[in-house]
């Protein structure tokens, strides 16, 4: 359990780190709109991840599940759709007003996926290393 909690902390920290370094690299090497896409996209998914974490921490508890049963599923899905609608509105505004470059935005939106892949790669390498020893 402690290992799993560590994994989540790692993913959360890596989100902000990738966003920070991606933003800096974007600002230095790419045009302003592209860098803004990376930064805003990264911010959107990092905040989304935090909200998802909070929702799951409050909902996926033995007491809540035993008390409410399957209605927890509907509750989490409604929250997901509200979050998704807000995200859709922001992304629509960013792209339709040409505030950001769409490819930069896609890169920024991949921050959470990238940090999960990094965490997975580290876990796999740790497993392989353990087996080798």
Partner 1 sequence: MEFLVGSVWAAGLAIGIAAFGCGIGQGMGLNGAMAGISRNPEAAGKIQVNMLIGLALIESLCIYALVVAMILLFVHPAIAPAVKALGGL
Binding site for partner 1 (CB under 8 A): 1, 4-5, 7-8, 11, 44-45, 48-49, 52-53, 56-57, 60-62, 65-66, 69-70, 72-73, 76-77, 80-81, 84, 87-88, 91-92, 95-96, 98, 102, 105-106, 109-110, 112-113, 116
**C-beta of 60 vs 124, nearer to partner 1:** 60
> Of 100, 1, 86, 102, nearest to 51 (Cα)?
86
Overall size of the chain counted in residues: 133
- Find the shortest distance in angstroms from Cβ 14 to partner 1: 12
DSSP 83: H
CB 15 within 8 A of CB 49: yes
């Amino acid at each position: 359990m402690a290992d799993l909690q560590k994994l989540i902390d790692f993913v959360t920290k890596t989100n902000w780190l990738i966003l920070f370094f991606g933003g800096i690299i974007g600002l230095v090497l790419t045009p302003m709109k592209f860098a803004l896409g990376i930064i805003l996209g990264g911010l959107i998914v990092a905040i989304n991840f935090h909200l998802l974490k909070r929702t799951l921490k409050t909902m996926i508890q033995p007491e809540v599940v035993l008390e409410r049963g399957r209605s927890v599923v509907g509750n989490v899905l409604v929250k997901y759709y509200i979050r998704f609608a807000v995200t859709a509105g922001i992304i629509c505004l960013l792209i339709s007003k040409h505030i950001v470059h769409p490819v930069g935005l896609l890169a920024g939106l991949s921050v959470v996926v990238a940090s999960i892949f990094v965490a997975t790669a580290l876990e796999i390498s740790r497993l392989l290393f353990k087996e080798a020893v």
